[in-house]
Structure 1
Amino acid sequence: MKILLAPLLLAVSLPALAEVDPKIHKLCIEAKDYAGCVRAMKGEIVPSERTGVGNKCQSQFAYIGNGNCQRVGCKYGWWLTGRTSNNSIVAGKSNWKCKSVFRGGIYLSGSLILEEVAPVGSDENCPPIEPEIGWNSSCEKAPANWKEVEEAKKPKCDFKLEKYDCSYNNYLEANTGMKKWAELNPDMAEQERIRLHSVD
């Protein structure tokens, strides 16, 4: 009876199953949270409070795009007949692997599957870019000198302008006294703009 009810429950939770892209269906079919996987792959699970895409998933989670991660799990079966292919999103990436286990007198081989969905997080120790699909964080594919590279991209300006994105105009808007002085002394203000290495 439980076996017969499973398709019915799936149909109730996903009435538009026929509308699911075949590629997404293939990637999510082994997921424990099939509906969550489908929504995540379609970009429907995106935390409203997030202002930018993060760069690192939780431990044991892989990035699947659209600001979402999924837990990487293992499905076990007898190594001769029960093992299925690894999920293509995570196969051969990061350090995802399933160790063989010995149960009931036989060895069981595991296949990588995707389980529940969670939003991507952030880690200041990783490059401020979106992780590649199937990987845990942007750190895993980053060059060893990524911090130096990111630092080199930043505009060079006087420390007074750093918190204003190196913009003298932003600096003046935030400091009304200096703005009034600049309006009364445009030539001197222009020299100050140059001295501070403003980007505008």
Structure 2
Amino acid sequence: MIRTTLTAAVIIAGTLPAIAAGDVAPEIHNLCLKAADYRGCVEAQKGTPEYLGNKCRAGYAYVGAGNCQKVNCSFTGIGGGDRHDPIVAGKSTWKCGTKINWWSYSGIDRGHLKLGAVSPITQSKDCPSVEPKIGWNSSCEHAKPGWKAAEKEDKRPKCHAKLAAHNCDWDTYLDANPAVKAWAAANPAMAEQERIKLSADPLKK
């Protein structure tokens, strides 16, 4: 019986995504252990990462956590053991050519992509308001057609101007306007009609 239980445990553990290996807090791991979508459960519990920017300086690649790093070219002779940094290899427009070096065995040095100085990510109105993919310079490089119109629609208040200043929340609006709150308490039916009217999307009437 014990052997069967241990075998089952090993099988279950082996089927968990790699995300469960060690980078998940124990309480989240235990909560999501029986979920049909373990990875989705873990990501949901962790919450949405803070948005920090969408574009690195020219010549810099995004490396995560709001940081960018300078993409440099390191030159070694043909046949040298150097390699591109995997964070930027094959991404964006990062490329290194070759250069003549009469002092090397082959006479030619081959460039390899390497990461250098760190710089914080910035915000550009010309790119989608999402972080760039790791190893890329900006979110513009993955922008979908019509993204500007989509962002404009997403940011547009979906309620009357009176509520827009309060994130379209009726209760917050009442708390900020004591006289209206008193009126609403004394006239609940009329207040409900007013709430419905002010909460409606003005462009979808």
Report the TM-score when normalising by structure 1: 0.63
Contact 1:166–1:198 under 8 Å retained in 2: no
2:128 matches 1:127: yes
Which residues of 2 match residues 24-43 of structure 1 at below 5 A? none
Instruction: Give the 3-state SS of the residue equivalent to 2:199 in structure 1.
Output: coil
Contact 2:51–2:131 under 8 Å retained in 1: no
- Distance in 2 between the 1:172 and 1:123 partners? 36
Check 1:177–1:97 CA distance in 2 against 1; reply closer, same or farther (3 A cut).
farther
Q: Please, which of 83, 86, 92 is the counterpart of residue 85 of structure 1?
A: 83
Instruction: Give the 3-state SS of the residue equivalent to 2:164 in structure 1.
Output: helix
Check 1:124–1:163 CA distance in 2 against 1; reply closer, same or farther (3 A cut).
farther
2:93 matches 1:95: yes
- Distance in 1 between the 2:135 and 2:148 partners? 23
Q: Deviations over 1:152-186 (max 9, x none)?
A: 44562223322322222222233333333323332
Deviation, 1:99, is: 3.3
Give 2:150's aligned amino acid: V
Deviation, 1:129, is: 1.8
Q: 2:66: which partner in 1?
A: 67
- Distance in 1 between the 2:180 and 2:126 partners? 37
Q: CA RMSD in A?
A: 2.6
- Distance in 2 between the 1:197 and 1:156 partners? 8
Check 1:176–1:136 CA distance in 2 against 1; reply closer, same or farther (3 A cut).
farther
- Distance in 2 between the 1:197 and 1:58 partners? 41
Deviation, 1:146, is: 1.3
- Which ranges of structure 1 fall in alignment gaps of 5 or more residues? 1-50
- Distance in 2 between the 1:108 and 1:68 partners? 30
Deviation, 1:187, is: 2.0
Deviation, 1:197, is: 2.2
Contact 1:63–1:131 under 8 Å retained in 2: yes
Q: 2:75: which partner in 1?
A: 76
2:195 matches 1:193: yes
- Distance in 2 between the 1:97 and 1:173 partners? 58
Contact 2:51–2:130 under 8 Å retained in 1: no
Give 2:158's aligned amino acid: K
Q: 1:141: which partner in 2?
A: 142
Q: 2:53: which partner in 1?
A: 54
Runs of 4 or more above 6 Å deviation: none
- Distance in 2 between the 1:123 and 1:139 partners? 9
Check 1:125–1:175 CA distance in 2 against 1; reply closer, same or farther (3 A cut).
farther
Q: Deviations over 1:21-62 (max 9, x none)?
A: xxxxxxxxxxxxxxxxxxxxxxxxxxxxxx643222222111
Instruction: Give the 3-state SS of the residue equivalent to 1:72 in structure 2.
Output: strand
Q: Please, which of 158, 171, 174 is the counterpart of residue 172 of structure 1?
A: 174
Percent identity over the alignment? Answer: 46
Check 1:180–1:103 CA distance in 2 against 1; reply closer, same or farther (3 A cut).
farther
Check 1:176–1:74 CA distance in 2 against 1; reply closer, same or farther (3 A cut).
farther
Deviation, 1:83, is: 6.7
Deviation, 1:127, is: 1.9
- Distance in 2 between the 1:59 and 1:101 partners? 23
Q: 2:114: which partner in 1?
A: 113
Larger Rg: 2
